[in-house]
Amino acid sequence: MFTHTHALQYEAKPDGPDPDFARKMQEILGGQWGEMTVATQYLLQGWNTRLPGKYKDLLLAIGTEELAHVEMIVTMIDRLLDHIPLKPDSADRSKEAAAGYGQHNPQHAIQNGAGASYMDSMGNPWTGAYVTASGNLMADFFYNATAEMQGRLQVARLYNMTDDPGVKDMLRFLITRDHYHQQQWLAAIEQLKDDGLENIPVPEAFPLEEEVTDLGYVFLDASDGPEAANGRWATGPSIDGRGTFSARPIEATADAPILPPGDPRLFPTPQMQGQSLIQKAKDMLT
Amino acid sequence: MFTHTHALQYEAKPDGPDPDFARKMQEILGGQWGEMTVATQYLLQGWNTRLPGKYKDLLLAIGTEELAHVEMIVTMIDRLLDHIPLKPDSADRSKEAAAGYGQHNPQHAIQNGAGASYMDSMGNPWTGAYVTASGNLMADFFYNATAEMQGRLQVARLYNMTDDPGVKDMLRFLITRDHYHQQQWLAAIEQLKDDGLENIPVPEAFPLEEEVTDLGYVFLDASDGPEAANGRWATGPSIDGRGTFSARPIEATADAPILPPGDPRLFPTPQMQGQSLIQKAKDMLT
Amino acid sequence: MFTHTHALQYEAKPDGPDPDFARKMQEILGGQWGEMTVATQYLLQGWNTRLPGKYKDLLLAIGTEELAHVEMIVTMIDRLLDHIPLKPDSADRSKEAAAGYGQHNPQHAIQNGAGASYMDSMGNPWTGAYVTASGNLMADFFYNATAEMQGRLQVARLYNMTDDPGVKDMLRFLITRDHYHQQQWLAAIEQLKDDGLENIPVPEAFPLEEEVTDLGYVFLDASDGPEAANGRWATGPSIDGRGTFSARPIEATADAPILPPGDPRLFPTPQMQGQSLIQKAKDMLT
Amino acid sequence: MFTHTHALQYEAKPDGPDPDFARKMQEILGGQWGEMTVATQYLLQGWNTRLPGKYKDLLLAIGTEELAHVEMIVTMIDRLLDHIPLKPDSADRSKEAAAGYGQHNPQHAIQNGAGASYMDSMGNPWTGAYVTASGNLMADFFYNATAEMQGRLQVARLYNMTDDPGVKDMLRFLITRDHYHQQQWLAAIEQLKDDGLENIPVPEAFPLEEEVTDLGYVFLDASDGPEAANGRWATGPSIDGRGTFSARPIEATADAPILPPGDPRLFPTPQMQGQSLIQKAKDMLT
Amino acid sequence: MFTHTHALQYEAKPDGPDPDFARKMQEILGGQWGEMTVATQYLLQGWNTRLPGKYKDLLLAIGTEELAHVEMIVTMIDRLLDHIPLKPDSADRSKEAAAGYGQHNPQHAIQNGAGASYMDSMGNPWTGAYVTASGNLMADFFYNATAEMQGRLQVARLYNMTDDPGVKDMLRFLITRDHYHQQQWLAAIEQLKDDGLENIPVPEAFPLEEEVTDLGYVFLDASDGPEAANGRWATGPSIDGRGTFSARPIEATADAPILPPGDPRLFPTPQMQGQSLIQKAKDMLT
Amino acid sequence: MFTHTHALQYEAKPDGPDPDFARKMQEILGGQWGEMTVATQYLLQGWNTRLPGKYKDLLLAIGTEELAHVEMIVTMIDRLLDHIPLKPDSADRSKEAAAGYGQHNPQHAIQNGAGASYMDSMGNPWTGAYVTASGNLMADFFYNATAEMQGRLQVARLYNMTDDPGVKDMLRFLITRDHYHQQQWLAAIEQLKDDGLENIPVPEAFPLEEEVTDLGYVFLDASDGPEAANGRWATGPSIDGRGTFSARPIEATADAPILPPGDPRLFPTPQMQGQSLIQKAKDMLT
């Protein structure tokens, strides 16, 4: 259960409106790697995990913090939209040039009345398909670490797309928290290993003796890039400590497949020409 | 540029048809973590990267291998659909019980004529939104490692959902390659660090002195789970080696936001009651 | 900013697992009218509204309560999935019959490892497109009231689809809160009117003298249903108190449109046959 | 069954082309609250309702009128696209400035050859997920009233985004019809009550004695906004006339949930550390 | 503008309910090749075409007929849902076996109250992205012919999935109209050619002398299938009558691309290792 | 199985960057009719077809060639993005004017770091729903021919939207291959007929004697366009050679449908007013 305070975790106030940047900022609100994704993902992983204790507690704590970031970004976008141009000729009235007019998101005016919405910078609505909660914490913590990397990368790019001191201040906060959260998930990965709960390859519990020959340690080269095998992944001891990496060209090991004829009740193109020819013959006779 | 051989990288032949399992197998073809995702993602990352050499070569080599896995899974699904039941009463004719009939995907018959399509096990079409190519290889390699973990996890689950020896044989192959690919991306992450190209936090090039105070090293606890701070992420040296982890409760640092009134041309609910009251007065007078 | 407690607002514990019903319950979690929609919608309306005070406070309070409902339903689904059948033949091991096996959502096992996700009962991911925050509170409160009606209707239907006492107990709680929330939004609509902030037609501030003749009060009948005009909407004083309802058959008032020829640089089918004929002639000559 | 006349219900002719505004106008054609939604929704509700007579007749009559609005808006967009700029440098040739060039939708040229399509102003295709037909007319009529409010609001905003007299004339027509249709659905709601068919709370037929204690009449406050309980929704007689509104802070009533361990065949993170530790021990021994 | 009659173009009455088949029939209502697609597509092409006369008139006439088919299929699905099972144990009460219970679409009950909706047989909502109206009638008429082929194919498959005489009767009607409509679009293609308005290749008006060497007439073989060039497409006079078909293996003609370094403000993986190494050095010194 | 070479099938190098055009070019990469669609569609049709030999070999050969086109367009877009403007004021630094700034896709910078992605020109992600593989080659080859027509049309339009010689050169290549591929599928259609495998109407194997009276040869006119029946489709011998075309106005042949009352457990609006009235009476008495 949640409770809410109107006070913000961190200030979200631009020095002036900027509808062009408001549109761009939607990416970190409702985009694939935005705050909606991490907030709802960490909470879902926390609720779903069947392992009580510190991991569950961590997930629910962080997911709740991310809700505060959603709130801050929504508030920032609202303020960036304080003066949204309604027509090309009104573009001059604000500090936004004609260039900025072209970039602004018209749904911010038509649909939201100068407010944010759960979409990305190209107007795609946020979708639950962005969220992963597999029940295997190692797999999910790697995804969480990725999400914080992609997220920090996007905020750092946005940081270079504005000169507004107020905006930059909030972006700095988000970049800093993403810095911590990257480390947090990497630390949680280490903790999972230390606790003996999971390891590489995920899922560790699948019996390795069921695997096929040496294919767990071989780079198969399917392209002609000359340096493809010149990396750590093709030589030396394997990452899981159980083998040695090698490399060889990819090769086919099974014959070209031949499928049986289709079910005639589904009207596929028949393998035998009989059916249609017979039909034609029948038509000619009648 | 690509060339193709009809021979398969590995055999994809079930011992018998199973439309129920064919539907489930769609998950690793056209689901978020299926082979369509990794094939098209590795290729896109390879084409987009502005760093020539071993990483680009690696990405294009592996992306091309994954196309062969797409082909194998499509072929397997086609064969599992050799006898698809058209009506409830026909369910008895194959080995599939009434239970299996209920699970089968009717589009396999109506739309594809007993063939595979690019969708997941619930019929959601595969989407390019599953693919990430950020231009930052560290962020993307973490995502790739995740994809192989989620992928191997799903295939391992499917392995426990069938008794068909032919199906299990191909799943073992996929599990094995996902084993290697997990290690491969983790090795590539090490290589990126060794080459001095990127490090934690991603993106490394963002100047840390721009960050906000100590928030890059603090776990902020927003929930009452008693063990949330009992992990590696809240104590000891930070993962980036530049600080020390600590923990404290989350707190608000900015006042509740007050937004200015909306633009009346967008017909928001007004802050002043004047407009509507005046209108009413006007109406009463006329 | 939010804080979270692990305790639930209300108990969410079934008497036994039921993967069939778990799939159906996804509708009120991640469906169009599920708890994800109302939680994120009320919060967004609250953050976006430019009218400080009781309406904003109400929206943020209720949106926060709905987050607790999301948590309860996720927990209930998790528990309904405690024994998810992996194969048709294993369906017998639980209380679920073959019928129930056919209905279960395979992603619950393959993707989520026996956990909930943000999708509806047919597997469509929840989308931000379900959320409306127009900046006009009257329009949005009507939508909110609708959401609570559709939501209570769906929960009431689910109530008739299970015999599990624990499930029914939680559904009763949701039905009761939806009862209150329906009244709450209807009361808020009355309050908006009483405060002189908005009225019918929405938006009230658009000058009625700009409207076209009498078309604001006429039912135009475009079908041959004999009773279409036998209702309150076609006779008597209008709802806004400014006119009298009437009815007449629909009629066209403008000529069939004639569009100018297309831009040849876009290669439309030309109006004049010249282009292609000339091209043909040119070809014949060369 | 339908018949069609080429004549338009109302004129749809701008004074000049305006590709920027054509893009914006897509919102009321193929957006969530556009004419495609109301046309297809009213028809579906009409076809689906199991109550013959005036409500069914009304729904089919109005749905058919809305099809004429779809036609008018498509025609208007086509004409606004009569001169669509193909390159930045050609922007000067029309009355559209560089600003307007930036806003135009390139699919209007590339995909549609200067024509409309079923998408919104950000290019999201219209989707059947916008349509609700629940079988409960009270719930659906509230949604219909909402749709007309959101629709009129959007058209009124568009009215302030153009100076073209021809465009404004058609928008006035749409605003006027939305005025009537708002009243129509509100009148239909009254009629449903008068006919004794449905009432608040929807669905009325669910037995109130099944509800939980007093939660049908209590505002539960989950946020610290000081005025949240200062409205009609927290005091006085309830809207359904069966209780009295009150308010109190939200509180948790159930313990934190503890989920049982996951099915090992799905490879979740185990609760017991045994499995992985045993595996490690086994590895060390071999 | 449209008018509507409650009478149906053709009878839509099953002999009995069948919720399993109701779900399957959604494919031809709201699927990619269903009646929603052709109805809205023909109308849009008709409204958008800038060529007045017989083609526009044809499109609007047929699009209007297809609306009647939408109505018929909705009505049929409604009746197939007259007795929808709410629980597994209730499956026995109707003629539907446990097998059929598993297949039924739960949204038909939860969301629509035993009614149809605009989705396909797997629950994907119909989308405007299915509709093409390019402004080039030749390209679009080929698509229309395809749509009628795919549509007739699907209806013919459904015909083999039911024994209900009433359902089969309506399917026969749809199959017959799709038979005519296939011919109609093929005839319209011939007519376009006869009228000199368009020809192969589409768009004919693009000057062929701008094309690259002989690549308009060569089959380039990129796979090792031995019979790929044994067809009409690789030998003899070309279809456009302007060349001769030939075949040869695919070959690369341009060097491997080398992209310039990325913009450092976007934090890509750098080409030079300098930046990160320098940063590291700087960190070590401070 | 596939192998890849880094060399390109054809050069993909613009004379200079142009982020505006890069956005537009996404249409032919990830749009409905872009190269992703044809590549993945031809491969899927090839893998799925149950007819071994020349058609399967053709499909896999061409699908593989299209993968090379995906690669070329990605490379071209990457290069067009070499200098992407980050702010309005930086627009002047490149050759792109303010107009072009407005058009550029901000995700190209924020998400992809100056790289392509699998989306169309409005940012909609590519989806597997664009792909059709019905198992009936005649229906699918018509779709393939359409795809090449729509594709060539779009590329030809793009050709008129740029002055960059390098871009135009690659577009010419694509236009030329689409020219061949149009002919190829039309030739394959002829071949299917010559081989006696399929014919009009598709599917040929459905027995024509099951069709309804004369409706396979009649144009039914549902609109008042005066020329609708003045074409080849309404007069003369039918395309399938088995009948004669005629025309008549559409007419209804079945009574208005009357649906039975809904299941009260689903809480529909009841047909009888009893339930609610009784409830009201009961309430009044208690």
Residue-wise pLDDT for F18-41, tens only, equals: 999 999 999 999 999 999 999 999
Mean pLDDT of chain C: 93
Give the best residue of F183, F186, F265 to mutate against chain E (max E CB count within 10 A): F183
Q: Please give the Cα distance from D284 to F137 (Å, whole number).
A: 57
How do residues D16-26 score in pLDDT, each as one tens digit? Answer: 999 999 999 99
Residue E69 has pLDDT above 80, yes or no: yes
Residues of F in contact with E127 (CB under 8 A): 129
Task: Provide the pLDDT confidence category of residue B282 given band limits of 50, 70 and 90.
Answer: low
Q: Is D76 helix (H, G, I), strand (E, B) or coil?
A: helix
Question: In this structure, what token pair is assigned to residue F17?
Answer: 């960057």
CA atoms within 13 A on the CB side of F52: 9
The answer to whether C36 contacts chain A (CB < 8 Å) is yes
How do residues B214-239 score in pLDDT, each as one tens digit? Answer: 899 999 999 999 999 999 999 999 99
User: Do B30 and F133 make contact, defined as CB atoms within 8 angstroms?
Assistant: no
Nearest to F267 among C153, C265, C266 (CB): C153
Identify the pLDDT of residue E85. Answer: 86
Residues of A in contact with E267 (CB under 8 A): 153, 156-157
Nearest to E259 among B50, B55, B119 (CB): B50
Q: Please give the Cα distance from B142 to F282 (Å, whole number).
A: 65
Q: Please give the Cα distance from D134 to D202 (Å, whole number).
A: 12
Residue C98 has pLDDT above 90, yes or no: no
Closest CA to F60 of F71, F46, F40: F46
Identify the pLDDT of residue E96. Answer: 47
Identify the pLDDT of residue A272. Answer: 64
How do residues F110-149 score in pLDDT, each as one tens digit? Answer: 999 999 999 999 999 999 999 999 999 999 999 999 999 9
Residue B50 one-letter amino acid: R
Residue D53, exposed/middle/buried by CB under 10 A (0-12, 13-18, 19+)? middle
Question: In this structure, what token pair is assigned to residue A156?
Answer: 């750092």
Q: In which element (H, E) is residue D220 found?
A: strand D218-221
Question: Of C57-71, D76-90, D163-177, F194-208, which range is least confident?
Answer: D76-90
Q: In which element (H, E) is residue F43 found?
A: helix F35-48
Residue B247 one-letter amino acid: A
Closest E-chain CA to F60: E223
Closest E-chain CA to F193: E232
Nearest to A106 among D24, D99, D275 (CB): D24
How do residues E185-228 score in pLDDT, each as one tens digit? Answer: 999 999 999 999 999 999 999 999 999 988 999 999 999 999 99
Closest CA to D60 of D1, D106, D104: D1
Question: Of B18-27, B129-138, B248-257, C271-280, which range is least confident?
Answer: C271-280
CA distance F99 to chain D (A): 4
User: Do E150 and F159 make contact, defined as CB atoms within 8 angstroms?
Assistant: no
The size of chain D, in residues, is 286
Q: Please give the Cα distance from D48 to D63 (Å, whole number).
A: 13
Q: Is A260 helix (H, G, I), strand (E, B) or coil?
A: coil
Could you tell me what percent of chain B has a pLDDT over 70? 92
Residues of A in contact with D122 (CB under 8 A): 105-107, 119, 122-123
Report the complex ipTM.
0.93
Instruction: Give the pTM.
Output: 0.95
Closest CA to C14 of C240, C123, C171: C171
The answer to whether F109 contacts chain B (CB < 8 Å) is no
Q: Please give the Cα distance from F59 to F40 (Å, whole number).
A: 10
Cα angle vertex F81, ends F80, F82, to 5°?
95
Identify the pLDDT of residue C96. Answer: 47
For chain A, give me the number of helices (H) and strands (E)? 8, 3
Residue A237, exposed/middle/buried by CB under 10 A (0-12, 13-18, 19+)? exposed
The answer to whether E1 contacts chain B (CB < 8 Å) is no
The answer to whether E275 contacts chain F (CB < 8 Å) is no
Q: Is E107 helix (H, G, I), strand (E, B) or coil?
A: helix
User: Please, which residues bridge with residue A8 across strands?
Assistant: B254
Nearest to B27 among C102, C111, C138 (CB): C111
CA distance F87 to chain D (A): 14
How do residues A160-197 score in pLDDT, each as one tens digit? Answer: 999 999 999 999 999 999 999 999 999 999 999 999 99
Subunits close to D (at least 3 CB pairs below 8 A): A, B, C, E, F
List all residues of chain A from 176 to 235 with a beta carbon under 8 Å from chain D. Answer: 192, 195-199, 203-206
Give the DSSP letter of residue E268.
Answer: P
Identify the pLDDT of residue C16. Answer: 94
Rg of the Cα atoms in chain B? 27
The answer to whether A44 contacts chain E (CB < 8 Å) is no
Closest CA to B35 of B47, B45, B25: B25
Closest CA to E25 of E145, E159, E177: E159
Listed in sequence order, the residues at least 6 apart from D222 whose beta carbon sits closer than 8 Å to its beta carbon are A1, A2, A3, A4, C61, C62, C64, C65, C68, D249, D250
User: Do B126 and F125 make contact, defined as CB atoms within 8 angstroms?
Assistant: no
User: Do B192 and E269 make contact, defined as CB atoms within 8 angstroms?
Assistant: yes
DSSP of E141-179: HHHHHHHHHHHHHHHHHHHTT---HHHHHHHHHHHHHHH
Task: Provide the pLDDT confidence category of residue A95 given band limits of 50, 70 and 90.
Answer: very low
Closest CA to F256 of C248, D52, E15, E114: D52
Could you tell me what percent of chain E has a pLDDT over 70? 92
Q: In which element (H, E) is residue D248 found?
A: strand D246-249
How do residues D214-252 score in pLDDT, each as one tens digit? Answer: 899 999 999 999 999 999 999 999 999 999 999 999 999
- Higher pLDDT: F154 or D285? It is F154
Mean pLDDT, to the nearest integer, of A29-54?
Answer: 98
Task: Provide the pLDDT confidence category of residue F258 given band limits of 50, 70 and 90.
Answer: very high
The CB-based long-range contact list for E38-41 (8 Å cut-off, 24+ gap) reads E38/E63, E38/E66, E38/E144, E38/E147, E38/E148, E38/E151, E38/E181, E39/E63, E39/E66, E39/E67, E39/E69, E39/E70, E40/D118, E40/E128, E40/E131, E41/E130, E41/E131, E41/E132, E41/E133, E41/E144, E41/E147
Cβ-Cβ pairs closer than 8 A, A with F, add up to 138
User: Do D153 and B267 make contact, defined as CB atoms within 8 angstroms?
Assistant: yes
User: Do B265 and D153 make contact, defined as CB atoms within 8 angstroms?
Assistant: no
Q: Please give the Cα distance from D240 to D243 (Å, whole number).
A: 7
Residue B44 has pLDDT above 70, yes or no: yes
Closest F-chain CA to B127: F127
Residues of E in contact with B3 (CB under 8 A): 222-224, 250
Subunits close to A (at least 3 CB pairs below 8 A): B, C, D, E, F
Residue B34 has pLDDT above 50, yes or no: yes
CA distance D194 to chain B (A): 29
Answer for the pair F122, D119: CB distance below 8 angstroms, yes or no: yes
User: Do C276 and E196 make contact, defined as CB atoms within 8 angstroms?
Assistant: yes
Give the best residue of A160, A162, A263 to mutate against chain E (max E CB count within 10 A): A160
Q: What are phi and psi of D188, to 5 degrees?
A: -65, -35
User: Please, which residues bridge with residue A219 across strands?
Assistant: A247
How do residues F66-81 score in pLDDT, each as one tens digit? Answer: 999 999 999 999 999 9
Q: Please give the Cα distance from A246 to D229 (Å, whole number).
A: 69
Nearest to C267 among F156, F265, F267 (CB): F156
Label each residue of chain B as H, E or C: CEEECCCECCCCCCCCCCHHHHHHHHHHHHCCCCHHHHHHHHHHHHHHCCCCCHHHHHHHHHHHHHHHHHHHHHHHHHHHCCCCCCCHHHHHHCCCCHHHHHHCCCHHHHCCCCCCCCECCCCCECEHHHCCCCCCHHHHHHHHHHHHHHHHHHHHHHHCCCCCHHHHHHHHHHHHHHHHHHHHHHHHHHHHHHCCCCCCCCCCCCCHHHCCCCCCCEEEECECCCCCCCCHHHCCECCCCCCECEEEECCCCECCCCCCCCCHHHCCCCCCCHHHHHHHHHHHHC
User: Do D146 and C146 make contact, defined as CB atoms within 8 angstroms?
Assistant: yes
Question: In this structure, what token pair is assigned to residue B13?
Answer: 């032949």
Residue F95 has pLDDT above 50, yes or no: no
Q: How far is CA C59 from the centre of its chain?
A: 18
Residue A87, exposed/middle/buried by CB under 10 A (0-12, 13-18, 19+)? middle
Identify the pLDDT of residue C284. Answer: 56
Q: Please give the Cα distance from E61 to D6 (Å, whole number).
A: 10
Closest B-chain CA to A182: B201
Angle C54-80/C165-194 helices, nearest 10 degrees?
A: 170
Answer for the pair A50, D262: CB distance below 8 angstroms, yes or no: yes
Answer for the pair A4, A11: CB distance below 8 angstroms, yes or no: no
Residues of E in contact with A156 (CB under 8 A): 267
Closest D-chain CA to E80: D48
CA distances to A223, B1, D69 from E249, rounded to whole Å, are: 18, 12, 54
Residue D93 has pLDDT above 60, yes or no: no
The answer to whether E269 contacts chain A (CB < 8 Å) is no
Identify the pLDDT of residue A87. Answer: 87
Unique residue bearing structure tokens 């505002």: D219
User: Do F97 and D89 make contact, defined as CB atoms within 8 angstroms?
Assistant: yes
User: Do D106 and F270 make contact, defined as CB atoms within 8 angstroms?
Assistant: no
Answer for the pair A145, A133: CB distance below 8 angstroms, yes or no: no
Answer for the pair E104, E26: CB distance below 8 angstroms, yes or no: no
Answer for the pair A105, C127: CB distance below 8 angstroms, yes or no: no
Residues of E in contact with C103 (CB under 8 A): 88, 101-102, 104, 106
CA atoms within 13 A on the CB side of A208: 20
List all residues of chain B from 160 to 179 with a beta carbon under 8 Å from chain D. Answer: 160
Residue B92 has pLDDT above 60, yes or no: no
Residue D282 has pLDDT above 90, yes or no: no
Residues of E in contact with C222 (CB under 8 A): 1-4
The answer to whether D129 contacts chain C (CB < 8 Å) is yes
CA distances to A17, A159, A160, B51 from A163, rounded to whole Å, are: 12, 8, 8, 29
Cβ-Cβ pairs closer than 8 A, A with E, add up to 14
Residue E95 has pLDDT above 70, yes or no: no
The answer to whether E158 contacts chain B (CB < 8 Å) is yes
How do residues C53-73 score in pLDDT, each as one tens digit? Answer: 999 999 999 999 999 999 999
Give the best residue of C202, C209, C235, C267 to mutate against chain D (max D CB count within 10 A): C202
Answer for the pair B175, B153: CB distance below 8 angstroms, yes or no: no
Closest CA to B208 of A183, A259, A33: A183
Could you tell me what percent of chain D has a pLDDT over 70? 92
Residue D218 Ramachandran class (φ > 0 left, ψ -120 to 50 alpha, else beta): beta
Subunits close to F (at least 3 CB pairs below 8 A): A, B, C, D, E
CA distance C114 to chain A (A): 7
Identify the pLDDT of residue C278. Answer: 47
Topology of domain F19-194, CATH? Ferritin (1.20.1260)
Q: Please give the Cα distance from E279 to B201 (Å, whole number).
A: 13
Task: Provide the pLDDT confidence category of residue E56 given band limits of 50, 70 and 90.
Answer: very high
